[in-house]
Structure 1
Amino acid sequence: MPRPVRERRFPLFGRSRPESRRIADILREETVGGALLLIGTVLALVWVNSPWGGRYESMIHATYGPESLHLNLSVEAWAADGLLAIFFFVAGLELKREFVAGDLRDPRKAALPVIAAVAGMVTPAVVYVLVNASGIGSGAGDLGGWAIPTATDIAFALAVLAVIGSHLPAALRTFLLTLAVVDDLLAIVIIAIFFTSDLNVLPALLALIPLGLFTVCVQRRIRSAWLLFPLAALTWGLVHASGIHATVAGVLLGFAVPVLRSQAAGGPDAGPGLAEHFEHRFRPVSAGFAVPVFAFMAAGVNIGGWSGFTSALGDPIAIGVMAGLVLGKPLGIFGGTFLAARFTRADLDSDLDWIDVFGVAVLAGIGFTVSLLIGALAFGSGSAADDHVKVGVLLGSLIAAVLATVVLRTRDRHYRLQTTADG
């Protein structure tokens, strides 16, 4: 009797060898960036709650730039709109790289992290809405911050993972990074659609001109900074003037860069394309400078002593943000991953157990950079609600990091003992 043919399955978080090497390089840079991000956050919190806190407030609210070009912005706004454009430019490069030449170009593999990431964004948003609609807390709920707990800060999460997980499988870091790639894409969509107000059509149309010229230049493999930087800066300025959040310009510029080499240059097998070249150039700037400086400018919240801290924690906005990060994120990501494995042809990678996936799902509750940005867009930078958002993001991220540490340290000990036994 012939044996039945098993349906071919594929590993849930598997990566090809070239992709694994490239991801290892990215992880090292993001981990260092996470450490700098933590330093910037701590410095901001200490400074703003010290007797010299007024100087911090004066610094971030000082304005610079030409008024005629609508760019007379505060230092805090320059960090959020300008420096984070670099972060989103790198995110755009990474997204295009993954879906054009990376392992996610395979629709079967792309569907899995997309399902997990979408569930990991929808669930915390639902948790936030439920908290604010139910009247939990001492104040009035506000549904406008639903998107705040949906984003994961990959630099912070990878830094924590690097500290606690020296023996964890590489597939686990790959899982976290893949989630972050899709997470960034969804965050970009949310910002572009839900946080664009008073759209000015003329600057938006004019932005297409320098963006088109930038696209032509990079498609012709022109790398001259003297040509590309002015075009990128003009695109950014016009997008900012249009009312669309300026970070969207960074994503569009990243999407314009070609991933594969042209046939004249040897084709896809001739080595890294221009997108990977720019990624190597700008990722250290993003992870090592742009994001930590933004954190320093955005994380400074004057808690106002114990009474101010408890007042912030009683606000449904802060409660909803914390619940979304600590409960919604892991439920969404783990549930989405489990359902994807249950109802598709995907198997969990042979190096992993489901408890490992749960640990990383909890770790994904560390939301910082994009969460703070969305909080400022939703409630206005410097408002009382925005300060409460910062408290919720910081405390929720801290709780998620501690809980993930408990789970993943146990798993790290398991893999260390396993390695010792095998060796």
Structure 2
Amino acid sequence: MARPSVKRRVATTWPVRYKTQVATALRTETLGGVVMLLAAIAALVWANTPWAGAYESLRTFEISPHWLHLGHMDVQHWASSGLLAVFFFIAGLELREELTHGELRNPRDAALPVIAAAAGVLVPALVFLLVSAGEPGALRGWAVPTATDIAFALAVLAVTFTSCPAPLRAFLLTLAVVDDLIAIAVIALFYTATVHWTWLGLAAVLVAAYGVLQSRNVRSPWVYVPLAVLAWYFLQRSGIHATVAAVALGMLTSPKTTADERPTNAERTDHVLRPFSAGVCVPVFAFVSAGVGLGPSQLGAVFTDRVALGVVAGLVVGKFLGVFGGAWAAARLGLATLGEDLHWHEIAGVALLAGVGFTVSLLIGGLAYTDPSQFERVTTAVLIASVLASAAAAVVFRRRVRVRARPN
């Protein structure tokens, strides 16, 4: 058989190499955050052009096969319930990794970011309730400003704090993963109207089966993919947001090493799914969620709506007070210690950066406010708060870069 020509071999090699390089890049939080940001900007631009109607038609296009019995599901619902489940599966993997090998392995080492995360959920909720008190329906949105966007926050940290110490990045990662886990618990407890117990029981059985197989180190994806998809489907049918199943499955994925030192189940799954999450799932969710009008009337409505102002205040002010105050109180009371390579100015920068609440804040906003105009104002408020928080954190981090560059 004749050998393929050099030209043919190059033509078949480069796409594979390019695909590998793209997948590798998408496994970094920095590029993932940038892709998500570009998707959000594209949505904002489209929603503020004469073709805004086409954008609205796209995200409200209904995809509801009757045989699935999932009710009315448009593109936006599929993005938040389906694609975003992959993102939360990765969050569950990260949390399991932190519990097994990372910052959460030692309870005392984990205390600082965990306490900061808990306070960073409580204080923004209180700030939101204080600002929005008396507004009709305001109580439904108390959880909107409670979560930090992992990808966006880590991307801002990487770009603005080039000399960032590893413990600070670990602090932010742990903080974001823990408050995302709290947010998922909040969604399950407070944003579920009716629970269908039969479907919930079936989902629980499948999640348990997944966990048993993982504990026995079964490695075939042909076993796990059907279990995960069916668990997602049953939980969606139960009335509980399906991202809860995704987090549970992620946390149950085994980090056990094998005798022949092959990658663990958790490592293999993360390696396969992270590029898909960063390159498709989160950007698509951002694209179908972030397209809001930014004209004078829309922005004016945000600054006269106390619910929207509560979201901005909760993310920008409440997150800083909660995260920094929680960390300071934990260290002051002897519940945790500040690492040798950390500084309170840097913790303050992370506390500001925690106000970037893009992904989960938009998800909770959509669950809390079904009225399109109210959801649009809340979405605009989340975007404004995320920009303000990023800018404030960038100022702190750029100063820390100069300080760390000075000779001792």
TM-score between the two structures when normalised by the length of structure 2:
0.89
Residue 197 of structure 1 and its aligned partner are, at CA, apart by 1.3
Which residue of structure 2 lines up, in the alignment, with residue 394 of structure 1?
383
After alignment, is 81-90 or 382-391 more displaced? 382-391
- Structure 2 counterpart of 1:100: 100
Aligned match for 2:143, one of 141, 147, 150? 147
| Counterpart for residue 266 of structure 1 | 259
Q: Among residues 305, 313, 323, which one is paired with 2:313 in the alignment?
A: 323
Q: Following the alignment from structure 1 to structure 2, what is the Cα–Cα distance between the partners of residues 367 and 63? A: 27
Query: Alpha-carbon deviation of 1:259?
Result: 2.0
Q: Once the two structures are superposed, what CA deviation does each residue of 1:339-364 show, in whole Å capped at 9, x if it has no partner?
A: 11111164322222211111111011
User: By how many angstroms is 1:402 displaced?
Assistant: 1.0
Distance in structure 2 (CA, Å) of the matches to 1:241 and 1:28: 32
**Alignment correspondent of 2:21:** none
Matches within 5 A, 1:207-356: 207-261=203-257, 265-266=258-259, 270=261, 272-303=263-294, 305-344=295-334, 346-356=336-346
RMSD: 2.0
Q: Tell me what 1:357 maps to.
A: 347
Alignment partner of 1:185 is 2:181 = yes
Q: Note if contact 2:158-2:164 (Cα within 8 Å) is conserved in structure 1.
A: no
Matched residues in 2 for 1:175 and 1:87: separation? 20
Residues 1:55 and 1:26: Cα distance change in structure 2 (over 3 Å): closer
Secondary structure in 1 matching 2:104: helix
Structure 1: gaps spanning 5 or more residues: 1-24
Q: How does 1:358-373 map to 2 (within 5 A)?
A: 358-373=348-363
Letter in 2 for 1:234: L
Q: Which residue of 1 aligns with 2:73?
A: 73
Give aligned-pair identity as a percent.
51
The CA deviation at 1:250 is 0.6
Counterpart of 1:414 in structure 2 is: 403
Provide the aligned length of Structure 1 versus Structure 2: 384
Tell me the SS of whatever aligns to 2:218. Answer: coil
Q: 8 Å contact 2:27–2:275 — kept in the other structure? A: no
Contact 1:140 1:316 in 2 (8 A): no
Q: 2: distance between equivalents of 1:91 and 1:327?
A: 25
Whichever residue aligns with residue 244 of structure 1, its letter is I
Give the letter aligned to residue 376 of structure 1.
G
Runs of 4+, deviation exceeding 3 Å: 25-28
TM value normalised by structure 1? 0.86
Contact 1:27 1:158 in 2 (8 A): no
2:63 maps to 64
The equivalent of 1:174 in structure 2 is 170
Secondary structure of 1:64's counterpart equals: coil
Q: d(CA) in 1 for partners of 2:143 and 2:335?
A: 31
- Partner of 2:28, secondary structure, is helix
Is 1:101–1:259's contact at 8 Å kept on the other side of the alignment? no
Residue of structure 1 in register with 2:126 after alignment: 126
2:39 is aligned with 1:40: yes
Q: Secondary structure at the residue paired with 1:350?
A: coil
Tell me what 2:8 maps to: none
Whether the aligned pair in 2 keeps the contact of 1:260 and 1:272 (CA below 8 Å) is no
Shift of 1:271: 6.5
1:372-394 residue CA offsets vs partner (Å, 9 max, x unmatched): 000000112x6221111101100
Question: Structure 1's 347 and 321: CA in aligned 2 closer, same or farther, altered over 3 A?
Answer: same
Structure 2 contact 111–336 (Cα < 8 Å) conserved: no
| Contact 1:219 1:258 (C-alpha < 8 Å) held by counterparts | yes
In structure 1, what is the Cα distance between the partners aligned to 2:190 and 2:240? 10
Partner amino acid, structure 1, of 2:30: T
Deviation of 1:162 (Å): 1.6
Letter in 1 for 2:373: A
Matching residue's letter, 1:91: A
1:31 aligned partner, one-letter code: T
Q: CA deviation at 1:27?
A: 11
Question: Retained in 1: the 8 A contact 2:199–2:237?
Answer: yes
